[in-house]
């Protein structure tokens, strides 16, 4: 079985567990006034679980590939050294650092840093374009979450505010 099918099989298992939690455990503790709402807090997780189960099942069963000729897989697990494993590992480490720095450094600093350093890992070198774009995107996302949705995100490091 090809690498994409193995990954899809793992995602299918995770999606099945997530779907079970969304359909059978999330709505039990809802207060009575919320049980009459057409959209519950578990609506999006249910939709996400169903779509990911369908997508992963299509990949596992091989329905997305044409049934004509047999061709070599796109990712050859025997030649993993030819791929940019270092970049992928750095990006994963950067994601962990972002998650750990989100509260102490604040949303604006940690998200801007994540976008700038992540783009530099992927090969972008035009800092005069990268820094304003990352700052603008971070500011827009912070405004939408804080101002429009009303969800508090600490914008600055804890010692400044």
**Span 73-119, pLDDT tens digits:** 666 667 767 778 889 899 999 999 999 999 899 899 999 999 999 99
CA distance 106 to 156: 4
pLDDT higher than 70, residue 126: yes
Band (40; pLDDT cuts 50, 70, 90): confident
Which residues, including other chains, have CB under 8 Å from residue 139's CB and lie 6 or more apart? 108
CA distance 25 to 89: 35
CA distance 123 to 99: 22
Find where tokens 């992963």 sit: 56
* Residue 65 pLDDT: 72
For residue 114, which of 100, 129, 94 has the smallest C-alpha distance?
94
């Amino acid at each position: 079985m090809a690498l994409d099918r193995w990954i899809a099989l793992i995602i299918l298992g995770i999606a099945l567990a997530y779907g079970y939690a969304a359909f059978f455990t999330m709505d039990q503790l809802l207060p009575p006034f919320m049980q009459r709402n057409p959209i519950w807090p578990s609506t999006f997780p249910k939709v996400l679980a169903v779509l990911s189960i369908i997508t992963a099942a299509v990949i596992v069963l091989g329905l997305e590939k044409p049934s004509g000729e047999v061709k070599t897989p796109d990712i050859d697990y025997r030649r993993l050294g030819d791929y940019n494993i270092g970049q992928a590992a750095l990006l994963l480490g950067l994601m962990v650092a972002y998650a750990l720095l989100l509260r102490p450094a604040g949303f604006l600093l940690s998200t801007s840093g994540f976008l700038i350093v992540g783009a530099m890992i992927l090969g972008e070198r035009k800092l005069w374009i990268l820094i304003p774009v990352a700052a603008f995107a971070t500011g827009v996302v912070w405004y939408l979450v804080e101002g429009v949705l009303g969800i508090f995100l600490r914008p600055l490091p804890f010692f400044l505010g």
